Structure 1
């Protein structure tokens, strides 16, 4: 009887905490992000110039809300940048979805930001795989700016409903306002455009917030249980890299059979391991024949770019990485706040922020609304505030692509005069050739970031919690 009472108290505490987080992260302050008109802006390998031909002022700047006024080449590039940024898939905190594995939590507010950042990086890899880097969403420029009053008012209503439901021992009947699905299409579109929209909607559904979603938060939390991570814990960028790899490798949807993932070991990418990942076999038992280049590979590289703070010597390296079209971004952030870095201008990083609570969307329905999965407003952060622990991602379509990537990155990784050590390295052969896992149990070999909870000493696989 006493245990039952304790469980009820814990459930009530969980509901109160969840309700508070839902309000806290529903505040969408309507601040403007300013960009200089005199410096190029890089977004996942694409470069944009906002300065028009007839503008000579050295101090001009523009915000993401007002710099879309028509002007020569500058205006065109501003619109192209806005369309490109808003086409990236945006994954944020959600509320009132089905309970997560091993818990009664129905929201990831306050703790799931690194999982969301990882999902965004994974989504960019899927976009490159199915749609290509030049793809943009047809409705990207129609997105409305985040409105403070609307969302905070609805958040307050949800708080009251949630607290009342907690006291009554039931869930609120109204989870909050949902975006309406778009109306039926008018004129018939070209077949290829329609096919791209099908891919777009499908990959978003893989990242949805339900137990059935192949790459959704429920699946990621389930895989995290193997490493001792539970729903409600904070996840680091290295942990998320391994969870994402397992999610991609174990996905059962036929659409994901042509892509897999690889995580570097101790900041080293072993080329033979990546090439093996590119290859799959025809079913046929022991006589199965390998199909070279039959799978694309997402390469995750957990790194540490300094001690307690990011070493300024790595700033130019990060810029070089984000200037490459096969880069799918960087997950990291500032201490205790994870985000997804997608570009830069001058000395500021451009990122997508998961710290925004939205209502659950049932992605299993036909024509579910896509608007809440795209962000209209980029954010900027000085390089100096970047946490040194992060995971860099790349997309390699084939063995030939990988050879090009490793060759180009080897040039970027050349150490500077002040920084003697590259962020990561490429090595020929397999990881096992260097006897890296000889002393590890199968579990620890699978999860190199696990450490003995009884030991206070950190291992080489530990990263600062974001």
Structure 2
């Protein structure tokens, strides 16, 4: 991937990011025409914060710790991309556009939350160290659910971000649980000016799913594509064998993704005043996305949505029922207001909801973890 990235940058090869087709292109809930809006699509993709492998950062876990996440941090970087997009949507808006000369203080503050150092609340250091609480050693590969669980813990320590994360397990989105989380008046992290009506705390909703054993069952392809159409879409974290990827849209039968498998130098953009800081800022934005057939994805995924307000959440629930559950022979997941009475948090339930890790970068293809 590093070599391909260099060829794109110097113009040696023509990018094959978006096909010239009459099929609609969807990027995180926005619909485009590739024949008429190619540059607009590329500008939208370029504006997403792109996290990749980095090298020569402060050691993780002490002086003898790791100074690069190459080979093990791709899912951690995908988790960072999802959370960063949630923060951009909340604090800057879904239609915010990044340009090389951008020095917006809010944008720079968001970026600083992820810089590769111990003090940053969502740095690779914090995610890797918090992963220990999920039985993952520093340097060990994460699955989609693991990174979701870690981010859920970390956001509680950053009041400015003002986001709540809910992870819907057992293929069920339970509305009452989410309302209890987001409407809690006791949560000091819910700064009044950032909460929606009724004190709603902005919600990053993550739904871990297993859509097959070794490969995605084609019956789920239609439903998975519909998730990218919802205006609350925050994409899908998952991958393909040996690679974790952040999927941000689709066209035809192909999904569009940002790939973290490029190793770049570590550093802080700060206030973007020096040439080095300006150059570093550009390294957080991918000029050309990539795409693969949707059935080539690993079946272990986590579908993500973001609801800034209670009204957006209600709208999402309605859209899921209308477009994702009722028409599909095999819905990706269910929506229910209350937890079923017969449901009890037993060990069997935990195993059923376990995080079946993607099959790459380590030798445990069938491994799962009990939460």
- Contact 2:117–2:123 (Cα < 8 Å) also in 1: yes
Name the Cα RMSD after superposition.
2.5
Q: Output the CA distance in 1 between the equivalents of 2:60 and 2:123.
A: 11
Indicate which of 204, 216, 219 corresponds to 2:111.
204
Indicate which of 301, 305, 308 corresponds to 1:390.
301
Residue 307 of structure 1 and its aligned partner are, at CA, apart by 2.3
Q: Output the CA distance in 2 between the equivalents of 1:283 and 1:348.
A: 41
Going from structure 1 to structure 2, the CA distance change for 1:47 and 1:413 (only over 3 Å counts) comes to closer
Q: Output the CA distance in 2 between the equivalents of 1:385 and 1:219.
A: 31
Indicate which of 71, 94, 97 corresponds to 2:54.
94
Q: Output the CA distance in 1 between the equivalents of 2:32 and 2:135.
A: 43
User: Which residue matches 2:140?
Assistant: 233
Would you say 1:244 and 2:190 are equivalent positions? no
Going from structure 1 to structure 2, the CA distance change for 1:282 and 1:262 (only over 3 Å counts) comes to closer
Indicate which of 242, 255, 272 corresponds to 2:160.
255
Residue 416 of structure 1 and its aligned partner are, at CA, apart by 5.7
Residue 101 of structure 1 and its aligned partner are, at CA, apart by 2.6
Structure 1 unaligned residues grouped into runs of 5+ = 1-23, 52-73, 140-181, 183-192, 285-290, 449-457
User: Which residue matches 1:269?
Assistant: 173
Going from structure 1 to structure 2, the CA distance change for 1:296 and 1:424 (only over 3 Å counts) comes to same
Indicate which of 161, 183, 187 corresponds to 1:279.
183
Which structure's CA Rg is the greater one?
A: 1
Matches within 5 A, 1:332-371: 332-364=238-270, 367=273, 368-369=277-278, 370-371=281-282
Q: Output the CA distance in 1 between the equivalents of 2:355 and 2:83.
A: 22
Structure 1 stretch 241-250 or stretch 107-116: which is displaced more? Answer: 241-250
SS of the counterpart of 1:244?
helix
User: Which residue matches 1:61?
Assistant: none
SS of the counterpart of 1:261?
strand
User: Which residue matches 2:83?
Assistant: 122
- Contact 2:170–2:352 (Cα < 8 Å) also in 1: no
Indicate which of 38, 42, 51 corresponds to 2:22.
38
Would you say 1:425 and 2:318 are equivalent positions? no
Matches within 5 A, 1:6-155: 25=2, 28=5, 29-30=7-8, 31=13, 32-33=15-16, 34-51=18-35, 74=36, 77-101=37-61, 104-139=65-100
User: Which residue matches 1:464?
Assistant: 357
- Contact 1:261–1:298 (Cα < 8 Å) also in 2: yes
Indicate which of 322, 337, 344 corresponds to 1:436.
344
- The structure in which a higher percent of residues are strand is 2
Residue 337 of structure 1 and its aligned partner are, at CA, apart by 0.3
Q: Output the CA distance in 1 between the equivalents of 2:61 and 2:352.
A: 28
Going from structure 1 to structure 2, the CA distance change for 1:26 and 1:434 (only over 3 Å counts) comes to farther
Q: Output the CA distance in 2 between the equivalents of 1:220 and 1:436.
A: 30
User: Which residue matches 2:283?
Assistant: 372
Structure 2 unaligned residues grouped into runs of 5+ = 189-196, 361-371
